[in-house]
Structure 1
Amino acid sequence: MSDPTFWRTEIWHPLSVHFPIALLLLATIAKLLALFLPNSRADFWHRGGAYLLYAGTLLAWLSIYTGDMADGIVSRKLCDPTVLKDHEIAAYNLAYAFSAATALELGLRLKLVRFKTGLLQVVVVLLMVVGSGFLAYAGHLGARVVYQQAGGVNVPAGDCAGF
Protein backbone atom coordinates (compact mmCIF):
# COMPACT_ATOMS: atom_id res chain seq x y z
CA MET A 1 0.00 0.00 0.00
CA SER A 2 1.50 3.36 -0.96
CA ASP A 3 1.33 6.55 1.02
CA PRO A 4 -0.92 9.06 -0.83
CA THR A 5 1.13 12.01 0.48
CA PHE A 6 4.18 10.75 -1.46
CA TRP A 7 2.38 11.33 -4.72
CA ARG A 8 1.65 14.99 -3.99
CA THR A 9 3.59 16.79 -6.73
CA GLU A 10 4.76 19.57 -4.41
CA ILE A 11 6.69 16.90 -2.46
CA TRP A 12 8.82 15.97 -5.49
CA HIS A 13 10.66 19.30 -5.50
CA PRO A 14 12.30 18.97 -2.07
CA LEU A 15 13.14 15.37 -2.92
CA SER A 16 14.96 16.38 -6.11
CA VAL A 17 16.61 19.63 -5.04
CA HIS A 18 19.23 18.43 -2.56
CA PHE A 19 21.42 16.40 -4.93
CA PRO A 20 22.19 19.32 -7.27
CA ILE A 21 22.90 21.57 -4.30
CA ALA A 22 25.55 19.16 -3.01
CA LEU A 23 26.97 18.28 -6.43
CA LEU A 24 27.25 21.86 -7.68
CA LEU A 25 28.83 23.17 -4.49
CA LEU A 26 31.34 20.29 -4.46
CA ALA A 27 32.07 20.90 -8.15
CA THR A 28 32.78 24.55 -7.43
CA ILE A 29 35.11 23.67 -4.56
CA ALA A 30 36.94 21.06 -6.66
CA LYS A 31 37.40 23.43 -9.60
CA LEU A 32 38.53 26.26 -7.30
CA LEU A 33 41.05 23.95 -5.66
CA ALA A 34 42.35 22.86 -9.05
CA LEU A 35 43.22 26.46 -9.95
CA PHE A 36 45.75 26.62 -7.10
CA LEU A 37 47.37 23.19 -7.49
CA PRO A 38 50.32 22.26 -9.70
CA ASN A 39 49.37 20.89 -13.12
CA SER A 40 50.19 17.30 -12.17
CA ARG A 41 47.47 17.28 -9.49
CA ALA A 42 45.16 19.94 -10.93
CA ASP A 43 43.96 17.72 -13.78
CA PHE A 44 42.43 15.23 -11.32
CA TRP A 45 40.47 17.99 -9.56
CA HIS A 46 39.43 19.66 -12.83
CA ARG A 47 38.14 16.35 -14.15
CA GLY A 48 36.35 15.45 -10.92
CA GLY A 49 34.83 18.92 -10.71
CA ALA A 50 33.72 18.63 -14.33
CA TYR A 51 31.88 15.36 -13.71
CA LEU A 52 30.18 16.81 -10.64
CA LEU A 53 29.28 19.89 -12.69
CA TYR A 54 27.69 17.83 -15.49
CA ALA A 55 25.55 15.77 -13.10
CA GLY A 56 24.66 18.74 -10.91
CA THR A 57 23.58 20.88 -13.86
CA LEU A 58 21.29 18.17 -15.21
CA LEU A 59 19.77 17.68 -11.77
CA ALA A 60 19.38 21.45 -11.31
CA TRP A 61 17.15 21.53 -14.40
CA LEU A 62 15.20 18.56 -13.01
CA SER A 63 14.72 20.55 -9.79
CA ILE A 64 13.42 23.50 -11.77
CA TYR A 65 10.97 21.19 -13.52
CA THR A 66 9.69 19.77 -10.22
CA GLY A 67 9.58 23.30 -8.78
CA ASP A 68 7.39 24.40 -11.66
CA MET A 69 5.06 21.48 -10.92
CA ALA A 70 4.85 22.52 -7.26
CA ASP A 71 4.41 26.22 -8.04
CA GLY A 72 0.74 26.02 -9.00
CA ILE A 73 -0.12 24.20 -5.78
CA VAL A 74 2.08 26.07 -3.33
CA SER A 75 1.65 29.64 -4.59
CA ARG A 76 -2.10 29.66 -3.87
CA LYS A 77 -1.48 29.08 -0.16
CA LEU A 78 1.27 31.65 0.48
CA CYS A 79 0.79 34.99 2.19
CA ASP A 80 3.59 36.56 0.11
CA PRO A 81 3.96 34.79 -3.26
CA THR A 82 6.68 37.26 -4.36
CA VAL A 83 9.18 35.23 -2.30
CA LEU A 84 8.33 32.17 -4.38
CA LYS A 85 8.78 34.16 -7.61
CA ASP A 86 12.18 35.45 -6.41
CA HIS A 87 13.11 31.84 -5.53
CA GLU A 88 12.20 30.78 -9.06
CA ILE A 89 14.20 33.61 -10.66
CA ALA A 90 17.28 32.77 -8.56
CA ALA A 91 16.91 29.10 -9.51
CA TYR A 92 16.82 29.93 -13.21
CA ASN A 93 19.84 32.23 -12.82
CA LEU A 94 21.87 29.50 -11.13
CA ALA A 95 20.84 26.96 -13.76
CA TYR A 96 21.88 29.31 -16.56
CA ALA A 97 25.23 30.11 -14.89
CA PHE A 98 26.04 26.44 -14.32
CA SER A 99 24.81 25.55 -17.83
CA ALA A 100 27.17 28.14 -19.32
CA ALA A 101 30.00 26.70 -17.20
CA THR A 102 29.05 23.21 -18.37
CA ALA A 103 29.05 24.26 -22.04
CA LEU A 104 32.47 25.87 -21.71
CA GLU A 105 33.83 22.90 -19.77
CA LEU A 106 32.54 20.46 -22.38
CA GLY A 107 34.03 22.65 -25.10
CA LEU A 108 37.40 22.45 -23.35
CA ARG A 109 37.19 18.70 -22.68
CA LEU A 110 36.15 17.87 -26.24
CA LYS A 111 38.65 20.38 -27.67
CA LEU A 112 35.89 22.30 -29.44
CA VAL A 113 37.09 25.58 -27.97
CA ARG A 114 40.60 26.58 -28.99
CA PHE A 115 41.41 29.50 -26.76
CA LYS A 116 43.74 29.89 -23.80
CA THR A 117 42.78 26.88 -21.68
CA GLY A 118 43.94 28.42 -18.40
CA LEU A 119 41.89 31.55 -18.97
CA LEU A 120 38.80 29.55 -19.91
CA GLN A 121 39.18 27.42 -16.78
CA VAL A 122 39.13 30.63 -14.75
CA VAL A 123 35.98 31.76 -16.61
CA VAL A 124 34.36 28.39 -15.88
CA VAL A 125 35.19 28.72 -12.18
CA LEU A 126 33.90 32.32 -12.11
CA LEU A 127 30.60 31.18 -13.64
CA MET A 128 30.43 28.43 -11.04
CA VAL A 129 31.09 30.87 -8.19
CA VAL A 130 28.33 33.16 -9.51
CA GLY A 131 26.05 30.13 -9.83
CA SER A 132 26.90 29.14 -6.25
CA GLY A 133 25.90 32.60 -5.09
CA PHE A 134 22.55 32.24 -6.80
CA LEU A 135 22.32 28.73 -5.33
CA ALA A 136 22.74 30.07 -1.80
CA TYR A 137 20.20 32.81 -2.46
CA ALA A 138 17.68 30.39 -4.00
CA GLY A 139 18.13 28.07 -1.02
CA HIS A 140 17.56 30.94 1.40
CA LEU A 141 14.36 31.95 -0.41
CA GLY A 142 13.21 28.33 -0.58
CA ALA A 143 13.69 28.02 3.16
CA ARG A 144 11.63 31.20 3.63
CA VAL A 145 8.83 29.73 1.52
CA VAL A 146 8.78 26.52 3.56
CA TYR A 147 9.55 27.69 7.08
CA GLN A 148 7.99 31.16 7.16
CA GLN A 149 4.96 30.51 4.97
CA ALA A 150 4.52 26.72 5.23
CA GLY A 151 4.75 26.33 1.46
CA GLY A 152 4.08 22.72 0.48
CA VAL A 153 3.69 21.71 4.11
CA ASN A 154 0.65 19.78 5.25
CA VAL A 155 -0.57 21.65 8.34
CA PRO A 156 -2.66 19.26 10.46
CA ALA A 157 -5.85 20.22 12.21
CA GLY A 158 -5.53 21.62 15.73
CA ASP A 159 -6.76 18.38 17.29
CA CYS A 160 -4.54 16.21 15.03
CA ALA A 161 -7.65 14.22 14.05
CA GLY A 162 -6.03 13.11 10.78
CA PHE A 163 -3.46 10.98 12.57
Structure 2
Amino acid sequence: MRIPKFIFKIPLLLIFLFGLPSLADTPKTVFFPYQEKVFFQGNTLVAQDLILGKESLDQKRIKIFAIVTGYSSTEEETDETPFVTASGKSVQDGIVANNFFPFGTKIKIPELFGEKIFVVEDRMKKDKSKFHFDVWFDEKEKAKIFGINFTWIEIVE
Protein backbone atom coordinates (compact mmCIF):
# COMPACT_ATOMS: atom_id res chain seq x y z
CA MET A 1 0.00 0.00 0.00
CA ARG A 2 1.36 3.43 -0.98
CA ILE A 3 1.30 6.10 1.73
CA PRO A 4 0.21 9.53 0.46
CA LYS A 5 3.00 12.14 0.32
CA PHE A 6 1.10 14.66 2.45
CA ILE A 7 1.08 12.35 5.51
CA PHE A 8 4.82 12.93 5.92
CA LYS A 9 4.49 16.68 5.44
CA ILE A 10 1.83 17.20 8.13
CA PRO A 11 4.14 16.31 11.10
CA LEU A 12 6.87 18.50 9.63
CA LEU A 13 4.41 21.36 9.30
CA LEU A 14 3.31 20.92 12.92
CA ILE A 15 6.93 20.87 14.10
CA PHE A 16 7.56 24.03 12.14
CA LEU A 17 4.45 25.83 13.35
CA PHE A 18 4.89 25.00 17.01
CA GLY A 19 8.57 24.21 17.43
CA LEU A 20 10.71 26.29 15.09
CA PRO A 21 9.44 29.89 15.15
CA SER A 22 11.14 30.63 18.47
CA LEU A 23 14.36 29.04 17.21
CA ALA A 24 14.37 30.69 13.80
CA ASP A 25 15.24 34.13 15.20
CA THR A 26 18.00 32.87 17.50
CA PRO A 27 21.43 33.15 15.85
CA LYS A 28 22.75 30.19 17.88
CA THR A 29 20.41 27.86 15.99
CA VAL A 30 21.70 28.82 12.55
CA PHE A 31 23.03 25.66 10.91
CA PHE A 32 26.28 26.73 9.25
CA PRO A 33 29.18 24.35 8.63
CA TYR A 34 31.60 27.16 9.58
CA GLN A 35 29.86 28.25 12.79
CA GLU A 36 32.96 29.92 14.25
CA LYS A 37 33.57 31.98 11.08
CA VAL A 38 30.00 32.97 10.16
CA PHE A 39 27.76 35.05 12.39
CA PHE A 40 25.03 37.67 12.40
CA GLN A 41 25.92 41.24 13.25
CA GLY A 42 22.55 42.93 13.62
CA ASN A 43 20.74 42.04 10.39
CA THR A 44 23.96 41.42 8.44
CA LEU A 45 25.42 38.00 7.73
CA VAL A 46 29.20 38.22 8.17
CA ALA A 47 31.87 35.64 7.35
CA GLN A 48 35.22 36.25 8.99
CA ASP A 49 38.38 35.37 7.11
CA LEU A 50 40.62 34.24 9.96
CA ILE A 51 43.72 33.87 7.77
CA LEU A 52 43.66 37.49 6.59
CA GLY A 53 42.19 38.79 9.83
CA LYS A 54 39.47 40.81 8.11
CA GLU A 55 35.73 40.50 7.64
CA SER A 56 34.35 39.63 4.24
CA LEU A 57 31.12 38.29 2.85
CA ASP A 58 32.42 34.90 1.72
CA GLN A 59 29.12 33.35 0.70
CA LYS A 60 30.65 30.60 -1.44
CA ARG A 61 30.90 28.27 1.56
CA ILE A 62 27.62 29.08 3.27
CA LYS A 63 24.89 26.47 3.61
CA ILE A 64 21.79 27.05 5.69
CA PHE A 65 18.94 24.79 6.68
CA ALA A 66 15.74 26.45 5.53
CA ILE A 67 12.05 26.14 4.83
CA VAL A 68 11.31 26.11 1.09
CA THR A 69 7.79 26.62 -0.23
CA GLY A 70 6.27 27.58 -3.55
CA TYR A 71 4.18 30.53 -4.73
CA SER A 72 2.64 31.73 -7.97
CA SER A 73 1.49 35.01 -9.51
CA THR A 74 -2.00 35.12 -8.06
CA GLU A 75 -3.57 38.03 -6.20
CA GLU A 76 -4.10 35.86 -3.10
CA GLU A 77 -0.37 35.23 -2.88
CA THR A 78 1.06 38.57 -4.02
CA ASP A 79 0.31 42.29 -4.06
CA GLU A 80 -1.56 44.20 -6.77
CA THR A 81 1.26 43.56 -9.29
CA PRO A 82 1.51 39.76 -9.29
CA PHE A 83 3.85 39.52 -12.31
CA VAL A 84 6.42 42.04 -11.02
CA THR A 85 8.86 41.08 -8.25
CA ALA A 86 9.78 43.33 -5.34
CA SER A 87 13.04 44.13 -7.15
CA GLY A 88 11.04 45.41 -10.14
CA LYS A 89 11.81 42.51 -12.48
CA SER A 90 9.24 40.37 -14.26
CA VAL A 91 8.62 36.94 -12.78
CA GLN A 92 10.30 34.01 -14.49
CA ASP A 93 11.57 30.54 -13.77
CA GLY A 94 14.41 30.64 -11.24
CA ILE A 95 13.03 33.45 -9.04
CA VAL A 96 12.87 33.01 -5.27
CA ALA A 97 11.54 35.25 -2.53
CA ASN A 98 13.43 35.72 0.74
CA ASN A 99 13.30 38.49 3.32
CA PHE A 100 16.95 38.41 4.41
CA PHE A 101 19.32 38.06 1.47
CA PRO A 102 19.79 41.03 -0.89
CA PHE A 103 18.25 41.08 -4.36
CA GLY A 104 20.52 39.32 -6.83
CA THR A 105 21.78 36.72 -4.35
CA LYS A 106 22.23 33.41 -6.17
CA ILE A 107 21.33 30.17 -4.41
CA LYS A 108 21.04 26.45 -5.09
CA ILE A 109 18.55 24.02 -3.57
CA PRO A 110 20.41 20.79 -4.39
CA GLU A 111 18.14 18.26 -2.69
CA LEU A 112 15.11 19.53 -4.62
CA PHE A 113 16.50 21.05 -7.84
CA GLY A 114 20.06 19.72 -8.29
CA GLU A 115 22.48 22.30 -9.69
CA LYS A 116 19.81 24.79 -10.81
CA ILE A 117 20.61 28.38 -9.82
CA PHE A 118 17.88 30.57 -8.32
CA VAL A 119 18.07 34.34 -7.79
CA VAL A 120 16.50 36.26 -4.90
CA GLU A 121 14.33 38.88 -6.63
CA ASP A 122 11.21 38.95 -4.46
CA ARG A 123 10.10 39.36 -0.85
CA MET A 124 7.50 37.65 1.32
CA LYS A 125 5.23 38.86 4.11
CA LYS A 126 7.20 40.46 6.92
CA ASP A 127 6.26 37.72 9.39
CA LYS A 128 8.24 35.09 7.43
CA SER A 129 11.57 33.92 8.83
CA LYS A 130 14.87 34.90 7.24
CA PHE A 131 15.37 31.14 6.76
CA HIS A 132 12.29 30.79 4.55
CA PHE A 133 12.59 30.71 0.76
CA ASP A 134 9.62 30.83 -1.62
CA VAL A 135 10.19 29.42 -5.14
CA TRP A 136 8.11 31.00 -7.93
CA PHE A 137 5.98 28.66 -10.08
CA ASP A 138 4.04 29.60 -13.20
CA GLU A 139 0.90 27.82 -11.95
CA LYS A 140 -0.75 27.84 -8.52
CA GLU A 141 -1.32 24.07 -8.66
CA LYS A 142 2.41 23.43 -9.16
CA ALA A 143 3.20 25.56 -6.11
CA LYS A 144 0.65 23.64 -4.03
CA ILE A 145 2.06 20.28 -5.14
CA PHE A 146 5.58 21.49 -4.25
CA GLY A 147 4.36 21.99 -0.69
CA ILE A 148 6.52 22.74 2.35
CA ASN A 149 10.08 21.41 2.33
CA PHE A 150 12.87 21.53 4.90
CA THR A 151 16.25 21.37 3.17
CA TRP A 152 19.72 22.85 2.75
CA ILE A 153 20.22 26.03 0.73
CA GLU A 154 23.64 26.80 -0.74
CA ILE A 155 24.52 30.47 -1.17
CA VAL A 156 26.42 30.70 -4.47
CA GLU A 157 27.10 34.47 -4.61
Higher strand content, 1 or 2: 2
Q: Which entry has the higher C-alpha Rg, 1 or 2?
A: 1
Higher helix content, 1 or 2: 1
